[in-house]
Chains A and B, each alone.
Chain A
């Protein structure tokens, strides 16, 4: 009866993508970020981060469903 539940399919959770080092550099350059902690943060203990197995310092791209724009892109940096 033990069914594996993948919370990533929950309708409240938008799509999370773990960015590679190169992609991360590109995003930082595009937004002119000087310090990585200028990004919004996401905790390492966050359930989604744990499923993605991201480490502190990694950048996560979030594709949100939006009422006003249908899709909007957001970035969060993983912190301890």
Chain B
């Protein structure tokens, strides 16, 4: 920007709140009077304008390189933490690729659940962790036998509390409606209402029964309790953000899942944006890499521009580009060219890539602006 433009528009510059706050603290510390403070603000405004990007700067490319250069280092430095406590989560480059590809289900999805103040202690947290873990009938059963004569399945339970047993059976009853269930102390017998059953059928039913989930939240496979500062935190393997809401003990307002699509559907696109930033930042930080958040924010803003999370790539951001030649130059050249010619599409040569192809001035920086003559005027 020219020197003249800078001085004239300096009053119009609005500084971010954070910088204003910092100015306040500095003024208080150094005991500056209002005249000095005004001078300081003027200097900072000038510096601020100098350091912000100029119109027409190719910030997308700068961001792309700033993220991918450190990412090349990641491949060589991927560690595996064997035997460390906690849930094993995909980290490093594989995780980064997963985020940018906006995979519907991460390879290892995990939730971080905080507890409400009242329940923020060891016993309660362990109890909650136990109740949310999905358990199949197999976990409660000691022996299973088949009564081939009466076509019944007999189940003998492990020694558990009577109330727990009742709950389990009640839940089971809801899930299997076609069977008659009779209970005798620690044992249970199931009889199918259908009479024509072969032994093979019976075996099949038995297997299905044992795999039936009776307690916990669906798809939460494991839950452990970790102490972080003053908080007892539950970390889970497998994620079901919607169901967690209904637990009274869990402080849902602080809870978090690494499945960004789940965040988007439960909390909306803005929350998903925050989650994406957090995930990328954490993945990079975990590898000891430090990128400026502004680059991440730019990428994430493009990913969430359309109101849903779009991957960076053929089916997402790159595929949405207007210019045909840009899309053809990226991936699936023939498909894009054929489709465009069938639909009689036009390329207006407004983008970078297509202009490079035909050896024209690229609309970046000073190349962005044209001169228009006003005809009929002096």
Q: Report A's interface with B, CB cutoff 8 A.
A: 1, 3, 5, 7, 9-14, 16, 40-43, 46-49, 62, 64, 66-72, 76, 79
**Contact between chains at B263 and A12 (CB < 8 Å):** yes
Task: Kindly provide the distance from the CB of A35 to the nearest chain B CB, expressed in whole angstroms.
Answer: 14
**Contact between chains at A1 and B248 (CB < 8 Å):** yes
Choose, from B157-165, B204-212, B267-275, B330-338, the stretch at the interface.
B267-275
**Contact between chains at B270 and A41 (CB < 8 Å):** no
Interface residue SS majority, chain B: helix
**Contact between chains at B269 and A13 (CB < 8 Å):** no
Please give, as numbers and ranges, the residues of chain B lying within 8 Å of A49 by CB-CB distance.
268
Task: Kindly provide the distance from the CB of B309 to the nearest chain A CB, expressed in whole angstroms.
Answer: 11
A43/B307 contact (C-beta < 8 A), A7-B266, A12-B271, A14-B274 known:
yes
Please give, as numbers and ranges, the residues of chain A lying within 8 Å of B16 by CB-CB distance.
66, 68-72
Task: Report the separation of the CA atoms of residues A22 and B16 in the bound assembly, to the nearest whole angstrom.
Answer: 26
**Contact between chains at B267 and A47 (CB < 8 Å):** yes
Task: Report the separation of the CA atoms of residues A41 and B301 in the bound assembly, to the nearest whole angstrom.
Answer: 11
**Contact between chains at B268 and A47 (CB < 8 Å):** yes
**Contact between chains at B269 and A42 (CB < 8 Å):** yes
Task: Kindly provide the distance from the CB of A24 to the nearest chain B CB, expressed in whole angstroms.
Answer: 18
Give 1 or 0 for each of B248-275: 1 = CB within 8 Å of chain A CB. 1000111010000001011111110011
Task: Kindly provide the distance from the CB of B356 to the nearest chain A CB, expressed in whole angstroms.
Answer: 25
CB of B227 within 8 Å of the partner chain? no
CB of B18 within 8 Å of the partner chain? yes
Query: How many B residues, CB 8 Å from partner?
Result: 30
Partner of B307 from A10, A41, A68 at Cβ < 8 Å:
A41
Interface contacts beyond A3-B248, A12-B267: sample of 5 additional A-B pairs, CB < 8 Å, sorted by A:
A5-B245, A42-B268, A42-B307, A43-B308, A46-B268
Task: Kindly provide the distance from the CB of A23 to the nearest chain B CB, expressed in whole angstroms.
Answer: 18
Task: Find the B residue at minimum CB distance from A10.
Answer: B253
Partner of B305 from A14, A41, A47 at Cβ < 8 Å:
A41
Please give, as numbers and ranges, the residues of chain B lying within 8 Å of A12 by CB-CB distance.
256, 263, 267, 271, 274-275
CB of B82 within 8 Å of the partner chain? no
Please give, as numbers and ranges, the residues of chain A lying within 8 Å of B294 by CB-CB distance.
68
Task: Find the A residue at minimum CB distance from B302.
Answer: A40
Give 1 or 0 for each of B165-192: 1 = CB within 8 Å of chain A CB. 0000000000000000000000000000
Which residues in chain B, 72-104, are within 8 Å of chain A measured between CB atoms? none
**Contact between chains at B17 and A79 (CB < 8 Å):** no
